Amino acid sequence: MTRALMIVDVQNDFTEGGALGVTGGARVASRITNFLERHADEYDLIVASRDWHDADNDNGGHFALDGQPDFVTTWPVHCVADTPGAGYHPDLEIDDVDIHIRKGMGVPAYSAFDGVDAASGASLADICAKRRVHAMDIVGIATDHCVRATALDAVAAGLDVFVFEDLIAGVAAEPSAAALDEIRAAGGHTGVSDVDTGIEQPGGAQL
């Protein structure tokens, strides 16, 4: 049985100064790196996802090319494939990442389960099944959008899901809190890591 760490969308366009920058995004990137320095070898699989949108179309209506985005289903242009905005934030250390998931290639996509492995083209669901993943800890950006969607899909897939509340950043406080409530109501779990205290915490990765 396999325990996985899922790093969701820690990209330049989702951190301060990016097209859809989230306050606290850069801090989350460095905190995840600190967490990996302590615990990477305790995971059987580490996965990182990125939005990887097409440059020459509206990605199934995801980009508001002809008007103002509503920031619900339509968005400013962001995370276009092979641009700096789509890159991982420089404070996120990715040497320990085993699988790089790309999502939103021509279509709207929020959950990492909507994406595929950049190397093999395999879906995240297929990867989890093949690797016998039974539990997934989740960190990244944004709490109220892609973290939420990924966690709910992981729960729906039958995984034991834990979201580290101190290793995520949301667009807004109220919907972020609601997203965590929804994850818990679905059967997932939330808590904090040991990044601040240096003391091992119960739950999560059982570190």
Confidence at residue 72, expressed as pLDDT on a 0 to 100 scale: 87
pLDDT 10s digits, 79-126: 999 999 999 999 999 999 999 999 999 999 999 999 999 999 999 999
Domains and CATH numbers, the chain: 2-191 (3.40.50.850)
**Does position 203 have pLDDT exceeding 60, yes or no?**
no
The DSSP-derived string for 32-61 is HHHHHHHHGGG-SEEEEEEE-B-SSS-TTT
- The pLDDT of residue 1 is 80
The Cα–Cα gap between 71 and 113 comes to 21
Please give the pLDDT value at position 206.
41
Beta strands in the chain (DSSP E): 2-8, 45-51, 99-103, 116-117, 133-141, 160-169, 189-191
DSSP-assigned letter for residue 130: H
**Mean pLDDT for the stretch of residues 19-41:** 97
Span 59-72, average pLDDT: 90
Active site residues per annotation:
9, 103, 146
Tell me what pLDDT residue 202 has: 40
Q: At 171, phi and psi to the nearest 5? A: -70, -45
Q: Which amino acid is at 134?
A: H
